[in-house]
Amino acid sequence: MTKIIVDGMLGNVAKWLRLLGIDTYYERDLEDDKLIELASKYNAILITGDEELSFKAFRKNIKVILLKNKLTKKSMIKKVLSELNINKNNLEIGSRCIRCNNLLKPIDKNLISNKLPKKIIENNDEFWYCDKCDKIYWYGSHWRNIEKELNEILA
C-alpha cells in the first residue's frame, strides 16, 4: 500500500488513516520543505489542507491530495480513500498504532495484566501492543463508536 505523509494541520485525518491501517507519517511541526523532502524521498502521497504547500509539492512532481478546511472529517477521509482507490476490502483496520504508526502485535493479556485496570483485563480477551510507544489496544466499549463512524465513512 502507498505511504502517506500528512501535514501538521490534519492530525485528526492522520489518526483515522492509521486506524484504517494505512501507513501514515505525521509530525505536527514539520516545515513545508521537510514535508516535500520526505514525500519525494519515500515516493509518498502528501495530504495537506494548505494550498501553497500543495502547489509547491505539485511542482516537484509529488502526488498531493488537497483537503479544504470546509470539509468534515468524514468527508476528508472519504476523499482520501477515493483518491487512493482504497475500499473496505483492502483495509487492515486496527493494525497500526494511532499514536506512532507502528504495526501492532497481538499480546497475551497475562503479559499486560499489570498495565491495565483489572476490569478491562477481565472483560476482554484480545489485546494488541505497540512496542514502539508502549500503547495497548483492545476492543472496549469505545470501539462501538469507532465502528459506527467507520461504517459511515466506508458506506
Sorted by where each begins, the domain ranges of the chain are 4-90, 105-154
Q: Tens digit of pLDDT for each residue in 7-42?
A: 999 999 999 999 999 999 999 999 999 999 999 999
Q: Please give the torsion angle defined by the CA atoms of residues 26, 65, 15 and 43, in that order, rounded to the nearest 10 degrees.
A: -40
3-state secondary structure of 76: helix
- Predicted confidence at residue 153, as pLDDT, reads 84
Q: What is the pLDDT of residues 56-73, one digit of tens each?
A: 999 999 999 999 888 898
4-90: CATH class: alpha beta
> How far is C-alpha 11 from the geometric centre of its chain's CA atoms?
9
Residue, of 44 and 68, whose pLDDT is higher: 44
What pLDDT is recorded for position 50?
95
Residue-level pLDDT at 75: 93
| pTM to 2 decimal places | 0.91
